[in-house]
Amino acid sequence: MNAMTEAPSASSLDRAAIARLRALARELDPSLFAEIMGTFLDDAAKYRTALRSAMDAQDAAALEHTAHAMKGASMSIGALALASISAQVEHAAEGGTLSLIPPLIIDIEAEIRRVQADIALELSAPA
């Protein structure tokens, strides 16, 4: 394979999902794309805090519910890796194997930072 044809670094955001959201904003309201991304970042921060609190309290139900919510929000903007790690937390919480979750929360926090950076790039790019 020719190395020159490979993408230098993959975005944390699925291109098709971003294109769909941009098209939606173009047709309805140009500010909608930024609003959706802003709402996602607010929600992600809220879910991250809730995951930490639920982990401290060893609350499996709250971990499962919050991870499920994080998964749904991530999928809706095309943050597929974040959705995938959230699903792992959800399954671990559902199965009661809470010991698996702390490193996954660290992964979620790192992935949120990647998504945040990619959203900033998207917002600075022309629609």
Partner 1 sequence: MKILVAEDDGTSRMILKAMLQKAGHEVVAMENGRMAWDAWRIEFFPVVISDWDMPELDGIGLCRQIRSKGDERYTYMILLTARGGKANYLEAMQAGADDFLTKPADDDQLLARLHVAERILGLRRQMKQLEALLPVCAWCKKIRDEDGKWNQMETYISRHNSDMRFTHGSCPECAANFLKQAGLAP
Binding site for partner 1 (CB under 8 A): 17, 20-21, 24-25, 27-29, 32, 35-36, 39-40, 42-43, 65, 68-69, 71-73, 75-77
Shortest reach from residue 68's CB to partner 1, in Å: 5
Which residue's entry shows tokens 């140009």?
30
Is residue 58 a contact partner of residue 98, using CB atoms and an 8 Å limit?
Answer: yes
Beta strands in the chain (DSSP E): none
Query: Smaller CB distance to partner 1: residue 5 or 69?
Result: 69
Shortest reach from residue 86's CB to partner 1, in Å: 10
Query: Smaller CB distance to partner 1: residue 23 or 110?
Result: 23
Query: Smaller CB distance to partner 1: residue 24 or 57?
Result: 24
Shortest reach from residue 88's CB to partner 1, in Å: 14
Collect all residues with Cβ–Cβ distance below 8 Å to 100 and sequence separation of at least 6. 88, 92
Query: Smaller CB distance to partner 1: residue 39 or 58?
Result: 39
Helices 15-28 and 60-77 cross at an angle (nearest 10°) of 70
Collect all residues with Cβ–Cβ distance below 8 Å to 62 and sequence separation of at least 6. 50, 53, 54
Tell how many helices (H) and how many strands (E) occur in the chain.
5, 0
Shortest reach from residue 72's CB to partner 1, in Å: 5
